[in-house]
Amino acid sequence: MKVQKSHLRIALFILGAAVLFSLLNYLRPVPRTGGRQAPEAPLIATPAAAGGHIDPLSIRAPHAVDMARVPEYARDPFLFGDETRDIVKVALAGAPDARPAPLVRSILFSSTRRLAVVDGRIVGVGDQVGVYKVAEIEQGAVVFSLTTGERRRVSVHGAVPAGLFR
């Protein structure tokens, strides 16, 4: 592609004009106003804004916080959907037969590793999940054992306690 001389002259003229315009704007004198400008007035008039002092006793105290109990929030951000932690706590307080099986969310199954996500934790064979111990991790299920010797096989997303939704 060949550049024509007329195009080169136009480009250089535009470049020169842009440089000259920038220099003139940079070097032009700033108009000075007579005297110092007053600072902007605040939207809300306070004694400190008027040059006075604030009385510390005029500041409201923060609301009382009861540190003896756990605060109640609208929802737990670490649970899925309508799940609640109260159901599991109540069920664990009952007899061993009434305890719900842990919730298995996912399984990593390979020739070298066997891991599962159970009740929001990553566990392997031999790990403890509440009163259950992970006995085996199969391709589609996890086998748990109790101290009584009872074994429960829970498939992925299986054995959802009553009241919990997936």
Q: Would you say residue 130 lies in a domain?
A: yes
In a domain, 26, yes or no: no
Indicate whether 116 belongs to any domain. Answer: yes
Amino acid identity of residue 137, one-letter, is I
Phi, psi of 92 (to 5 degrees): -70, -25
Asked, for residue 67, whether it belongs to a domain, the answer is no
- Residue 69 included in any domain: no
Give the pLDDT confidence score for residue 90 in this predicted structure: 46
Q: What is the count of structural domains for the chain?
A: 1
- Ordered alpha helix ranges (H), 28-152: 86-93
Average pLDDT over residues 22-45: 72
Strand, coil or helix: 144: strand
Mean pLDDT, the chain, rounded, equals 78
Q: So what's the pLDDT on residue 122?
A: 93
Q: Give the pLDDT confidence of 115-145 residue by residue, as tens digits.
A: 999 988 999 999 998 889 999 999 899 999 9
Residue 121 sits in a domain of what CATH number?
Answer: 2.30.30
pLDDT of 97 reads 54
Q: Is residue 111 part of a domain?
A: yes
Question: pTM for the complete prediction?
Answer: 0.39
Please give the residue range of the domain that contains residue 144. 101-166
Residue with more model confidence, 8 or 73:
8
In a domain, 74, yes or no: no
100-114: average pLDDT = 88
